[in-house]
């Protein structure tokens, strides 16, 4: 069982040497994450700024010094666990993980240094409002992911629901109908029992306090009021358990907002509630609203230069118009649904019969491995490109029931042969400054 705590003897040693937790000198970098940070100029600059802000936060912490040092130690351990375990098997993903986590930690330390001793939820909201990615834009990821990257939430890893755990927990805790069950010990005296319903990938759970012998007591009441028809967490919702920046055990529930791309600001929230032994404590709700725009993502165009240039310029505009249309409001399109909108420069394809392609094409030199399926209702379109007529298809990507980014495919027809000439993802990205609010909850 992982215990996220700092023993008194270790805490005393940390107090004597806070710079050791700020950044490892690159000449003596020992861990995988340290070596990857030192090898990348942008990440190395972030690491240096984190070191400076950490020393500043410690200097200004006063009575909160031990808490600041312990928080930094937890963040370093979480950083290495979440990002370091990806290297060297997947260096690119590890670098992406670090590129997201380091700016978030920098924002958290800047808020801490500017205003020491803030209540947790106030500091979390201020960090989310101040955080920027390496490109200067708002960070990606749900709010729980951002707070984990910032070191303000430490998630508790799941464990297998072994027979030993079943013997320690009350029978009702392990009688859920879910097809997969696990336990999540968090803090020093709590455990959550989770159950996954395979039919809709919905998660339900119960939380139990542990006595001095480590045995679970009766379930606590639900940590938040849920609609009667939605007792579990499904679709864009999730729930987790762990520690906040003060080392207190917490429950957190995340609403990612609509996963279907829409041409409007995106709103997401996280609810956080502390737990005290056999009762729930204070709770807060943090909401962030992001302005968005559509940008061309990964892909490849194998047509002539003029066609590729025109396609790259038009595709984000088409995606924006599609996302703003009534057709895109819901993933299901029953009879009588709104029609697919008219898009500038495109017309319904009325040529010889071609199969309704369901999968984004694999253009030579690039293969999409994300959500490859077009929605079945997305029509084939005709585009008179600079290099001649092309057949296009544009829709949100679909993998089973999960909507994803927009995807575009383009083919050229020669007789009875259709040749893929382009395939792209179109991402809805956050821009500008997020609007973040925080409110206490009963």
pLDDT digits (tens, 9 = 90+) for 140-156: 999 999 999 999 999 99
Domain presence at residue 264: yes
Number of domains in the chain: 3
- pLDDT greater than 60 at residue 11: no
* pLDDT tens per residue, range 303-361: 999 999 999 999 999 999 999 998 887 655 555 678 899 999 999 999 887 776 778 88
Q: Tell me what the mean pLDDT of segment 380-399 comes to.
A: 91
Mark whether 60 and 36 lie in a shared domain.
Answer: yes
Q: Which band of pLDDT confidence, cut at 50, 70 and 90, is reported for residue 178?
A: confident
**How far apart are the C-alpha atoms of 352 and 350, rounded to whole Å?**
7
Given this model, what pLDDT does residue 7 score? 28
Report residue 55 as tokens.
């020393």
Q: Are residues 250 and 227 in the same domain?
A: yes
Q: How high is the pLDDT of residue 15?
A: 33
Task: Examine the domain organization and report whether 202 and 314 are in the same domain.
Answer: no
Report pLDDT for 173.
94
Are 167 and 192 in a shared domain? yes
Lowest mean pLDDT among 18-22, 242-246, 255-259, 411-415: 18-22
Q: Are residues 15 and 74 part of one domain?
A: yes
Q: Are residues 351 and 274 in the same domain?
A: no
Q: Answer for the pair 72, 64: CB distance below 8 angstroms, yes or no.
A: no
User: Do the domain assignments include residue 207?
Assistant: yes
Given 152, 169, 190, the domain boundary residue is: 152
- What percentage of the chain has pLDDT greater than the value 90? 66
**pLDDT classification of 21: cutoffs 50, 70, 90:** low
pLDDT for the residue numbered 356: 65
**Same domain, residue pair 268 and 375:** no
17 and 77 share one domain? yes
87 pLDDT exceeds 60? no
- Whether 361 maps to a domain, the answer reads yes
**Are 394 and 300 contained in the same domain?**
yes
Run of H or E residues at 69: helix 65-82
Residue 1 falls inside a structural domain = no
Which residues are CB-neighbours of 150 under 8 A, at least 6 positions away? 75, 101, 104, 105, 107, 108, 127, 131
What local confidence, expressed as pLDDT, does residue 10 receive?
28
- Res. 214: pLDDT tops 80: yes
Q: Which of 119, 152, 185 is the last residue of a domain?
A: 152
Residue 219 sits in the same domain as residue 308: no
pLDDT at residue 198, rounded to an integer: 65
Supply the pLDDT for residue 100.
Answer: 96
Shared domain check, 194 and 145: no
Range of the domain at 39: 8-152
Higher pLDDT, 297 or 201: 297
Residue 269 belongs to some domain of the structure: yes
- 63 and 193 in a single domain? The answer is no
Q: Say yes or no to pLDDT of 436 above 50.
A: yes
- Alpha carbon distances (Å) from 320 to 261, 291, 323, 333, 422: 9, 13, 5, 19, 19
From the list 28, 51, 40, 48, the residue with the least C-alpha distance to 83 is 40
Sequence-distant (6+) residues with CB within 8 A of 36 are: 43, 87, 91, 94, 95, 98
Among the residue ranges 132-136, 145-149, 233-237, 301-305, the one predicted with the least confidence is 233-237
127, 152, 177 - which closes a domain:
152
Lateral strand order in the sheet of 202-210: 159-160, 180-186, 190-197, 202-210, 216-219
Residue 2 lies in a domain: no
Between 378 and 258, residue with greater pLDDT = 378
pLDDT value for 89: 60
């Amino acid at each position: 069982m992982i215990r996220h705590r700092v023993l008194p003897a270790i805490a005393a040693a940390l107090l004597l040497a806070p710079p050791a937790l700020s950044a490892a000198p690159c000449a003596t970098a020992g861990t995988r994450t340290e070596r990857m940070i030192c090898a990348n100029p942008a990440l190395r600059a972030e690491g240096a700024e984190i070191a400076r802000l950490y020393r500043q936060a410690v200097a200004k912490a006063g009575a909160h010094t031990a808490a600041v040092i312990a928080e930094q130690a937890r963040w370093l351990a979480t950083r290495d666990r979440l990002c370091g375990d990806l290297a060297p098997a997947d260096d690119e993903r590890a670098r992406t993980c670090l590129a997201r986590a380091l700016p978030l930690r920098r924002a958290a330390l800047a808020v801490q240094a500017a205003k020491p001793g803030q209540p947790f939820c106030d500091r979390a909201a201020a960090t989310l409002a101040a955080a920027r990615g390496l490109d200067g834009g708002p960070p990606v990821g749900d709010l729980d992911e951002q707070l984990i990257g910032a070191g303000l939430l430490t998630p508790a890893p799941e464990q297998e629901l072994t027979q030993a755990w079943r013997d320690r927990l009350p029978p009702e805790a392990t009688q859920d109908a879910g097809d997969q069950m696990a336990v999540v010990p968090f803090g020093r005296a709590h455990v959550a029992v989770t159950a996954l319903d395979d039919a809709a990938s919905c998660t339900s759970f119960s939380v139990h306090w542990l006595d001095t012998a480590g045995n679970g007591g009766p379930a606590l009441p639900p940590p938040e009021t849920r609609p009667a028809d939605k007792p579990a967490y499904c679709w864009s919702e999730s729930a987790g358990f762990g520690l906040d920046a003060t080392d207190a055990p917490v429950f957190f529930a995340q609403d990612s907002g609509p996963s279907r791309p829409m041409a409007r600001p995106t709103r997401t929230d996280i609810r956080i509630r502390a737990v005290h032994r056999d009762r729930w404590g204070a709770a807060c709700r943090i909401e962030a609203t992001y302005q968005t725009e559509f940008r061309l993502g990964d892909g490849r165009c194998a047509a002539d230069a003029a066609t590729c240039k025109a396609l790259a310029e038009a595709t984000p505009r088409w995606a924006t118009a599609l996302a703003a249309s009534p057709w895109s409001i819901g993933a299901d399109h029953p009879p009588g649904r709104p029609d697919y909108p008219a898009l500038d420069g495109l017309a319904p394809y009325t040529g010889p019969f071609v199969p309704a392609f369901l999968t984004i094409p694999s253009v030579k030199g690039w293969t999409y491995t994300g959500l490859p399926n077009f929605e079945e209702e997305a029509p084939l379109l005709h585009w008179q490109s600079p290099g001649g007529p092309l057949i296009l298809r544009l829709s949100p990507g679909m993998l089973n029931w999960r909507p994803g980014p927009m995807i575009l495919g383009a083919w050229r027809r020669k007789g009875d042969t259709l040749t893929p000439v382009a395939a792209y993802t179109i991402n809805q990205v956050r821009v500008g400054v997020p609007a973040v609010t925080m409110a206490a909850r009963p």
